[in-house]
Every structure is written in structure tokens, then in C-alpha cells.
Amino acid sequence: MGALEGESLKIVSKSAGNAAPQAMGGFPLAKWSGNSHLWWTGSKPGEKLVLEVPAAKAGKYEVFVVLTKAVDYGIVKLQWNETPATGPLDLFNNGVITSSPISLGIHELKAGIHKLTIEIVGANAAAAKGYMVGVDYVLLTPR
């Protein structure tokens, strides 16, 4: 409820690869919000994807992101409005699933556009080195 679907977020920039919606109905181990995610492929460590995240009203929010995990997904770091928000997040999993909600912290937001930056920083030693990333949704929870 109230999720900003990853596949609907505007792409501000990407330093490499392709980012497009991918239907996720064929993966029975998890359920994706909207049955889809934004799928970033064809990238490698050091590359960044920047997404616009709209806030309808000004206020204090905890920002959450849900990502996809799979055998060929990378390790990423997330930034919120160009400020580091997480350490390395390993998206490797032996099976395609969603992550638990990942908190990017509590922020005082102005109404309007904010930026989520995803940087690929590596891959799990056990992963197929596809360095892929999937964004299920972003959720702004009032605090």
C-alpha cells in the first residue's frame, strides 16, 4: 500500500547497461509488488543507476527499498539524495526472491523529487557474475 513501483520510477541516469520493467509472475518463491520490478542488466562494478522518487507531501519519512535477490545479482550500495544510506548489500540468493524492506533511514523530505542512487560494488564469490539489480519498490513511511 503506497509503494512507488520500481518499474514506474523515472530513470535520471545510468552509467551502463539497460534498465526496464521485468514481469516477475513466473518466480514462485516470492511475490513482487505489482508483479514486476525494474531490472538493471549489462552493468559491472563501479556503475550507477539514479532513479527519481517523488514525495507527494513534505514531512518526516523513513525510506524503505525492496530489491530482488538471485544467483546472478550483484553487491550494491544505496544513496539517498546523494548521501550514503547503506553499506554493501549482497543480492546473491540461490533462487529468485525479494529482499526484506531495507531502511535508508529517516529523512525530512520536501514535496517533490528525490534521488535514489544504486551503485554496483561487486558480487558474492558464489554468484554468477551478472551484476544484475532489481528494484521492486520504494516506500516512504511517515514518521
Q: Which domains does the chain have, with CATH numbers?
A: 4-142 (2.60.120.260)
Q: What are the b/e assignments for 44-61, b being 16+ CB within 10 Å?
A: eeebbbbbebebeeeeeb
| Rounded distance between C-alpha atoms, residue 138 and residue 108, angstroms | 16
Q: List the pLDDT tens digit at each of the 143 positions of the chain.
A: 789 999 999 999 999 999 999 999 999 999 999 999 999 999 999 999 999 999 999 999 999 999 999 999 999 999 999 999 999 999 999 999 999 999 999 999 999 999 999 999 999 999 999 999 999 999 999 99
Query: pLDDT at position 2, please?
Result: 83
pTM: 0.96
